[in-house]
Structure 1
């Protein structure tokens, strides 16, 4: 059986795994990325929206992966009340609509340029252990069984991480902590290319929302995410089809791509143990409220890559704890807050969403903390106090 030896083996070739490998390779350490699919970035499992704050990370330069830019977002409640989040009112929180396949491929190019080896059609099947420690991985490489050995392993293998299970981390998800998604890319439609639109409501997308992300003059990603506790087979497609048919500007569109998938909206799990690190969806770093994962995958991947490189430089596996310290410093507060908000919002009925939208439609969000926003909502609609009281301790 063929054998490969590396300093680090990364299981999973999505953004989190690729960025992790990039920061390891640039320090001169050998790193292999094992990707089970035959092509990086395929199949696409993403709404393809990302914050412009991605530029501040300095990980990936602007390029052809940016399909369009939006100046803000519009949120619509069930009765049609619109909350517009412009650059001025949302503190410049505007974004890009991306080509996710090209985005992932650019990350792969950057990683390979720094020296990482990327193995396609390489499915990591089983961990190899010695004295309770993960020392290798059995994998199918283009139909051939091979072994990869390393000092450190990275689980970047998605929603129910196999790597996490190997080392005893519970990566199972409850229905309330997973979102089922269905998306069309529609051509021949009319939409405002300056805004990403979001539609909320229990009758529209229970526990989630519908999105319309413009990708050009007459093309947009139109998708839905619904919480698993409300879902049943076929419901996401059924609700999205009904929504599209109700919109004159969308109903004549032609589907040129169909995507399905699932997104974790759970609390983070243990992100490292001994010589194994979990990143991205495997670590539950997806935003529990929005389901967005790209930005957090990049942040976590960079933190993991830097920490692993430092651990190898010092020959001290305990330095992997720096990874957890780094990602928690940036993400932990937001993930905790948004999980609580997700738990509360998932129980809202349509009338509550309408009240919320009516209350905040004229608020300058840049001037409000979470506490200030909730206080303003309760002052205008005292009946919301019971539902929103748990959030009053947040800042």
Structure 2
């Protein structure tokens, strides 16, 4: 039984069903892929590892550049062609993976919500269902009662505006307007895309309205409000008969809250481990899920959590000073060599740590060595 019909839950179901086991996916919303919380950025290599070759309807376009702006308006542009990042329709991606899962034998039901765990399985809003294992893929909502300090409010509007350029992502830092996070613009084509913002202790709707009113000349097509998790993975992915995956397990990147690949691999690893456990009934087979995910992403996420702590400590003046230290060589190195899915290296370079710049040393103190190790 899998609760949550998003990327992680559907990939988990695909893996289990592919080994010949019975699996039911329940999704509380009326449609797989709705509402579309995600910005929709993912690397082609990440999708390939997830076992997804995007359909034409899923693939929007390649991202060619990312413009990063500081509070005082200074900016630099990273050429992202080598990283092969694409903007996809999350609605269509989820449906594509749902189709894979269904072809393998999984059953999917929408408008069906998880209520509670019972002695023999779970109870939904419709019925009691017996199951050997319960997979929690319900997203950030599962974390709200565990640790609210890891949650930020976010808003993302889908808009039409002639200032959105196809292939160009924008990221805007301002610790006064978007404390502990940033604002973003992600194109889904020429003149259309998603504009979003997250931050600690701000009214995200008002903040996003201010961003759009400053830019002007836009029409809003859809508004989405959703919490994001930025504190990294939870301690235990397996608790008794419950297996926790995706955003519910904190598998979204602490730096950006993006998680198509990292959460998706959580679903894949969990599905593989569950399949082995159902064959062997050995607990150690089930525990391979967390071991595999941690071996792959654990160190990167630890560094991203450190980078996030740094971001939460610095003010606009410091950000402006750091932007002044970014050289064309640093930008070129990030453009040519860095990895979208493992991007701590980029953060180290942008913070000026690689060159041991005094501003960064004073700012971060003893955390430098941890980030560089």
Q: Which residue of 2 aligns with 1:154?
A: 135
Task: Assess if the C-alpha contact under 8 Å between 1:371 and 1:391 holds in 2.
Answer: no
Q: Which residue of 2 aligns with 1:51?
A: 43
SS at match of 1:309: helix
SS at match of 1:39: coil
Residue 198 (structure 1) shift: 0.5
Q: Which residue of 2 aligns with 1:174?
A: 148
Residue 35 (structure 1) shift: 1.1
Q: Which residue of 2 aligns with 1:204?
A: 177
1:113-164 alpha-carbon deviations (Å, 9 max, x no partner): 11001121111111112xxxxx3101113xxxx11111111111111328xx
Residue 393 (structure 1) shift: 2.5
Task: Sort the Cα spacing of 1:192 and 1:375 in 2 relative to 1 into closer, same or farther, 3 A.
Answer: closer
Q: Which residue of 1 aligns with 2:341?
A: none
Q: Which residue of 2 aligns with 1:100?
A: 90
Q: Which residue of 1 aligns with 2:223?
A: 258
SS at match of 2:141: coil
Residue 27 (structure 1) shift: 0.6
Distance 1:100 1:347 in 2: 33
Distance 1:361 1:52 in 2: 28
Distance 1:110 1:347 in 2: 44
Q: Which residue of 2 aligns with 1:316?
A: 282
- Give the TM-score of the pair, scaled to structure 1: 0.85
Distance 1:51 1:73 in 2: 14
Q: Which residue of 2 aligns with 1:267?
A: 232
Task: Assess if the C-alpha contact under 8 Å between 1:378 and 1:385 holds in 2.
Answer: no
Q: CA RMSD in A?
A: 2.2
1:19-74 alpha-carbon deviations (Å, 9 max, x no partner): 00000000100001111112111122122222333233142112121112112322
Residue 287 (structure 1) shift: 0.6
Residue 277 (structure 1) shift: 0.8
Q: Does 1:33 align with 2:25?
A: yes
Equivalent positions of 1:239-258 (< 5 A) are 239-247=207-215, 251-258=216-223
Distance 1:49 1:73 in 2: 12
Q: Which residue of 2 aligns with 1:17?
A: 9
1:66-117 alpha-carbon deviations (Å, 9 max, x no partner): 11211232211112222322137xxx32411121111111111111111001
Distance 2:244 2:17 in 1: 18
Task: Sort the Cα spacing of 1:371 and 1:157 in 2 relative to 1 into closer, same or farther, 3 A.
Answer: closer
Equivalent positions of 1:57-72 (< 5 A) are 57-63=49-55, 64-72=57-65
Equivalent positions of 1:215-364 (< 5 A) are 215-227=188-200, 230-231=201-202, 235-247=203-215, 251-269=216-234, 270-362=236-328, 363=330, 364=333
Residue 262 (structure 1) shift: 0.6
Distance 1:370 1:69 in 2: 20
Task: Assess if the C-alpha contact under 8 Å between 1:359 and 1:377 holds in 2.
Answer: no
Distance 1:371 1:242 in 2: 28
Gaps of 5+ in 1: 1-8, 130-134, 163-169
SS at match of 1:213: strand
Gaps of 5+ in 2: 339-343
Task: Sort the Cα spacing of 1:370 and 1:217 in 2 relative to 1 into closer, same or farther, 3 A.
Answer: closer
Task: Assess if the C-alpha contact under 8 Å between 1:160 and 1:172 holds in 2.
Answer: no
Distance 2:185 2:159 in 1: 10
Residue 323 (structure 1) shift: 0.1
| Residue among 95, 114, 118 paired with 1:128 | 118
Distance 1:81 1:56 in 2: 36
More helix by percentage: 2
